[in-house]
Amino acid sequence: MFERILRWSLVAIAVAGLAAGGAAHAFGRPEWAGIAFTASTVPVIAGLVVSIIRDVLAGRIGVDAIALVSMSAAIVLGEPLAGAVVALMYSGGNVLEDIAVARAEHDLRALVDRAPRIAHRWHDDRIEDVAVADVAIGDRLMVRAGEIVPVDGVVETAIAVVDESALTGEPIPVSRRRGMAILSGSLNAGETFELSVTATAGESTYAGIVKLVTSAQTAKAPFVRLADRYALIFLPVSLAVAAAAWLASGDLIRALAVMVAATPCPLILAAPVAFIAGVAQAARSGILVKGGGKLEALARAHTVLFDKTGTLTVGGARLLSVEAAPGEDADTVLLLGASLEQASHHVLAHAIVEAGHARGLKLKVPERVRETMGSGLAGIIDGRRISAGSPDLILGSHAPPPWAARAIRRASWRSALIVLVAVDGRPIGALLLADELRADTPRAIRWLREAGIARMVMVTGDRAAAAQAIGAALDLDAVLADRVPSDKVDAVRSEQRLHPTI
């Protein structure tokens, strides 16, 4: 904070000095103008001397030294205006960097603020609110509907429906049954459930994300500015050219002109400002960049590995087809299913309702709707009991009729979700919903090719048939399907051994 205040103070002094000097010139007082220009340059020189000493002690030397020589020579040779201009460029660039840093911090802070602060813990048959930091392994927590899961744990109730989009990008809520793990940072998209803690707040999944954000905010960019890489050559060459100009012309001011022109203020400032602005822009697009080294590594990349769902595809369900039972009408199946789903807030429900509207169906208002979170719902439409949900909910322990078995197999082949629709307990049809390719995915693949990426691979947990279809449509170099998370890690490591890999 002290350095930030100092930078703003220096740029304010530089601006004030130039303004005062300009006013003095306008009123015919050049001597006062010289004093104002000098007074605005000297503090910047002092600050730059301190910065250079720090760099030298750290074993670094950069082209900032040329700016120091230029400002100092301008003062000594009686050209304070030139020194004031260089001072403004240098100090102003540092302030621009501070502004970009502040923007990046603001964009990234939202994710940190989402971390839960309070947990509801069972204690002696009652619920008490405690700080998340006080939760211990083995504690039993209650997670209410709409709350963020505070720590990693396992489900202790029959079922929990959670939205893991903040962690995985998958927009469709998933069901977790008793004994299954749930990650902190997930949103409870269903009814209240109980959780047995398996990791403290500091060791949980969401804490890792928060640490990543914090490091992105505080880490110094490890890049080396292009001009700094050649500072040991650039500085003496500039001094030599300045000396040659002096000897050739006999005018010392010519040497000063060379040094002022050689002062690489744009090069001094461009890298940090571009890096921080890039981090801020990426954050607004949901991308966290851990540091400058990671950003620079992108330029060397040879191979890109893509996940499928939510990356190459939209990540949300779209109606793929309507499978009607013999003697039933597909529009009737969709009409009843979409009418009933109007009463649900589930992501799949929204997709089904939108599909009904898109087909021009006039949806009806359901009554006495009862929802089984994560499985489906039932209600009354035109005096008939309509149900829509998973095969387990609609069929129970009964074997599916032949048409339904075919629909279930087709959904499996296409990695689609299936919603059965029943009237008075009799299945009349099925709605198949699946992900679809993002509209901009082909363009993004083409741009990556043009940017120099030589190999593109899709790694997915989906079945080979569905994955190969997308891989062929995008002309990917390889498709690795049926991969569990550990297999995906192995695939990344294999590619990294060969080439720089994203």
The residues carrying an active-site annotation are 307
CA atoms within 13 A on the CB side of 460: 25
Spatial contact of 149 and 162, defined as CB atoms under 8 Å apart: yes
Q: What share of the chain is helix, strand, coil (3-state, %, to 5)?
A: 55, 20, 30
**Rounded to an integer, what distance in angstroms lies between the CA atom of residue 35 and that of residue 20?**
9
**Rounded to an integer, what distance in angstroms lies between the CA atom of residue 205 and that of residue 446?**
34
Amino acid at 117: R
CA atoms within 13 A on the CB side of 292: 15
Strands (E), 156-234: 159-163, 174-177, 181-182, 187-188, 193-197
For residue 41, the cross-strand partners are none
**Rounded to an integer, what distance in angstroms lies between the CA atom of residue 501 and that of residue 5?**
41
Beta carbons within 10 angstroms of residue 77's beta carbon: 14
The alpha carbons of the chain give a radius of gyration, in whole angstroms, of 32
CA-nearest of 385, 354, 392, 348 to 370 is 385
